[in-house]
Structure 1
Amino acid sequence: MWERRSRPECTLETVLKTLHALTLAASISLGLLASASVQAQVPNFPISAQQKATAQQVSEAGVPLSELAPNAPDSHTVKRGETLWGISGLFLKSPWRWPELWGMNLQQIRNPHLIFPGQVLYLDKSNGRARLRLGTPISSGTSGGDVKLSPRVREGSLTDAIATVPVHLLEPFFNEAVIFNNGDELVKAPRVIATQEGRVLASRGESVYVRGDTEGRKEFRLFREPKPLRDPDTREVLGYEAQYVGAGDLTREGVEGTGADGKPLIVPGTLQITRVRQEVMVSDRLSPVPPREFESVVPRAPAQMAGAIVSIYGEALTAGQNQIVVINRGTRDGVEKGHVLALWRAGAEIRDITDPDKRSVKLPDERHGLLYVFRPFEKMSYALILSVQEPVKPGDRFTQP
């Protein structure tokens, strides 16, 4: 079994108590040093009571060896650019079962967020159970191949902490991918009424003229043609997804009132385009840039969930790995950020040519991928395709993993 060097003045548990918890690399918190000399407020980590209970239960007995991945390594050094999802997948058959990975050694790995490049995870397999150890090997024992571990104080900035999933794939969608509850939200929004010099299209760096109540805001996103998204099963309109055009800064407020001569006075505001996904046109609508709300949450499985893919984000007809889809379940159905869902491929209907009557047979549905929910709305949610074997299309089914 693994053994830690007895160092009362600097046990790993004591060291961990001096560290201030650091959030994930994608968090919006300020960078800080993980040392006793730094005083900072401890963030509220997204860990549920159920997950804590699972971790506590596992930490007391370890994980059955049957739950380990077939090629689980004896040790692993955390590398820059890795994700908690990927590391979980190295040791466990199911990456979303992160409480088991965390709970293998609850005293040493008190929080799954407190993992950094350069740290070494060791897998202790004894008595038919498995537990993780965290430390640095310093010597080999004289009997049984025991290894002594030495704890290390880890200092580093917030940006060094490993992320949960590939956050760089998600962050742009928090401004671009938006569901509106009804079609009137954009109809009544400020709008582009003209471009400079009467151009048909406007690009980055150019200005356009806008009318409408900008409510004192300065930063806006531009959208076009909201389309209704319907539940594949019930045909209920779940919301309206607008086509993202770009973004701009309001450099001059518009004026609407009455002039000195008593005649109506209408002077449009000026919006300078700072970013384009496609060129801006007259009638495009403005929506304020929301507060930065990106929060990467540790993957976990919902208790029960089933539904269907509503649409593929963008113009594609099908989607593959690292693409975004809309699903027909939202907060009203219990969907939360971080939920992992299993994708299923519908079994084809065939004729059994070995049957004298050539009767139709439906092949079984096959599971072939995973989704990660990163932005839930009331009636639907955006999800990232983490892995998939075949192209995903609207109507495809999902369940809890």
Structure 2
Amino acid sequence: MSSSQRLATRRTVLAGAALIVGGGLAPTVLAQNFPITPAQRSTAEQVAAAGVPLTDLAPDAPETYVVKPGDTLWAISGLYLRQPWRWPELWGMNLDQIRNPHLIYPGQTLYLEKLNGLARLRAGQPPGGMPPPTETVRVSPRVRINGLPDTAIPTLPPQVIEPFLNEAILVEDANLLDLAPRIVAAPDDRVLITEGDRAYVRGRTGTPLVETDPRRTELFRVFRNAVPLRDPLTSQVVGYEAAYLGSAELVRAESVQPVRTPRGKVVDTIIPATIDITRAKEEMRVGDRLLPEPPRVFSTYVPRAPTLPVDGNIISVYGDAVALIGQNQVVVLNRGAAEGVENGHVMAILKAGRQLQDRSEPRERAEIKLPDERSGLLMVFRTFEHLAYALVLEITDTVMVGDRVANPI
């Protein structure tokens, strides 16, 4: 085997190592292999065949660009295209070389080519400066393989969304809140409870807090003050948002045991469940409630415009005492999966135009309303049935609760 063949073989084995870990996909690899929809692939193929009109390029699109650590797909899309959410077209400009658009690595150089009024983007210099593998090598089961970290650039800065995914509590069913277990006591009559403390919890009568599987650890989020979220048009309650206080781990399940009273009588008595507080954002107290920790979902967010018309509103902003909404803040929308909203959908934030009287003609005095103007962009990253969480990506004017969201133009 020649040295070049050995090098290619080594790269193929290392590439396979990222996939063959314990018989499944490593979480970091799974995070990047986000499914590509048929519509995205179709758009990319059309652009790959024809190119992108020069008029669709950003005015200062660079001739060459070296991908750096910390870059995101959103930022690079905005670097080359006037509308960053037109991700399939950025991918389609280089369909032959970027077959998986989520695998663009630091160190790659992007080259912008312009010909006959059209633009294409091609990439060079794969990770490490080595050529891509050309051979497939079967790995023996006797070989121990360690996963490689996934260094492909993310769609958005992960530090912006990741902390929020560990905290936000949004519930659409009021019954879940009504049945949520509550803290009933702490050791030594302690009033405030924090990280490292133990506490005791009861479920609602008839629904005790029990271990569903003793082989695994049951995790919970502790919350307070679930606030109803109302649709601004119908005033109907569409969900509840609660203040996250921290996380807890179930130590012992709730039970009923015979207990001898001071008078010597044995009575079946409720023994509350025991939890340990594993994280505290705020101090907790008796009366605070728990909901099961939702399963962790590894996914990457592909920015794109909705395929169906969307017309909704911002109905809440995550955070205390927030009046104005800024960039990189998380908001709740009154549209969800039932209305065709998906993770990755980019929407325009629209500021309502003023209603006023036309005074330009003294004899008419007609009532008019100025057009709604775009004041920012946001991207959905978690959907529910009729609600969705979104991250504010850009703002150009004041953004507030009640502002409309719609398809970007």
TM range (shorter): 0.7 to 0.9
1:380 aligned onto 2:387:
yes
1:244 aligned onto 2:239:
no
> What residue number does 1:310 align with?
315
Which residues of structure 2 form unaligned runs of 5+? 6-10, 20-24, 134-146, 212-216
* Mapped partners of 1:31, 1:97: distance in 2: 25
* Mapped partners of 1:191, 1:31: distance in 2: 36
> What residue number does 2:273 align with?
269
Kept in 1, the 8 Å contact 2:352–2:371? The answer is yes
Kept in 2, the 8 Å contact 1:345–1:365? The answer is yes
Which residues of structure 1 form unaligned runs of 5+? 1-8, 10-14, 33-40, 138-149
Kept in 2, the 8 Å contact 1:21–1:114? The answer is no
> What residue number does 2:140 align with?
none
Which of 50, 53, 57 is matched with 1:61 structurally?
A: 50
> What residue number does 2:255 align with?
255
- Range 53-62 or range 360-369, more displaced: 360-369
Corresponding residue SS for 2:399: coil
Q: Which letter maps to 1:47?
A: I
- Residue 278 of structure 1 and its aligned partner are, at CA, apart by 1.7
The size of the alignment, in residue pairs, is 365
Kept in 2, the 8 Å contact 1:65–1:128? The answer is yes
* Mapped partners of 1:302, 1:95: distance in 2: 14
1:184 aligned onto 2:175:
yes
Kept in 1, the 8 Å contact 2:31–2:299? The answer is no
> What residue number does 1:393 align with?
400
> What residue number does 1:172 align with?
163
1:132-167 CA-partner distances (Å, limit 9, x unpaired): 111149xxxxxxxxxxxx97449x944411000122
Q: Which letter maps to 1:108?
A: Q
Q: Which letter maps to 1:308?
A: N
* Mapped partners of 1:322, 1:64: distance in 2: 31
* Mapped partners of 2:31, 2:280: distance in 1: 38
Which of 324, 346, 357 is matched with 1:340 structurally?
A: 346
* Mapped partners of 2:360, 2:18: distance in 1: 62
Distance 1:89 1:30, change over 3 A: same
Kept in 1, the 8 Å contact 2:377–2:395? The answer is yes
Sequence identity (%): 49
> What residue number does 1:370 align with?
377
Matches within 5 A, 1:264-303: 264-303=268-307
Considering only aligned residues, what root-mean-square deviation do their CA atoms show, in Å? 3.0
* Mapped partners of 2:397, 2:245: distance in 1: 30
1:302-321 CA-partner distances (Å, limit 9, x unpaired): 02111111111222122111
Corresponding residue SS for 1:172: helix
Which of 110, 114, 120 is matched with 1:121 structurally?
A: 110
1:215 aligned onto 2:215:
no
1:262-313 CA-partner distances (Å, limit 9, x unpaired): 4113222322212122210111111121221142221111021111111112
Q: Which letter maps to 2:313?
A: A
Q: Which letter maps to 1:129?
A: L
Distance 1:42 1:259, change over 3 A: closer
* Mapped partners of 1:176, 1:42: distance in 2: 20
* Mapped partners of 1:339, 1:386: distance in 2: 12
> What residue number does 1:48 align with?
37
- Residue 84 of structure 1 and its aligned partner are, at CA, apart by 0.2
- Residue 383 of structure 1 and its aligned partner are, at CA, apart by 0.5
* Mapped partners of 1:314, 1:91: distance in 2: 34
1:201 aligned onto 2:192:
yes
Kept in 2, the 8 Å contact 1:320–1:390? The answer is no
TM-score under structure 2 normalisation?
A: 0.81
> What residue number does 2:143 align with?
none
Which of 91, 94, 108 is matched with 1:105 structurally?
A: 94
1:3-41 CA-partner distances (Å, limit 9, x unpaired): xxxxxx9xxxxx99x967989xxxx93457xxxxxxxx9
* Mapped partners of 1:66, 1:223: distance in 2: 50
- Range 79-88 or range 361-370, more displaced: 361-370
- Range 192-201 or range 258-267, more displaced: 258-267
Kept in 1, the 8 Å contact 2:325–2:400? The answer is yes
Kept in 2, the 8 Å contact 1:193–1:211? The answer is yes
* Mapped partners of 1:194, 1:125: distance in 2: 70
TM-score under structure 1 normalisation?
A: 0.83
* Mapped partners of 1:198, 1:223: distance in 2: 21
1:75 aligned onto 2:64:
yes
Corresponding residue SS for 1:160: coil
1:323 aligned onto 2:314:
no
* Mapped partners of 1:117, 1:21: distance in 2: 20
- Residue 115 of structure 1 and its aligned partner are, at CA, apart by 0.3
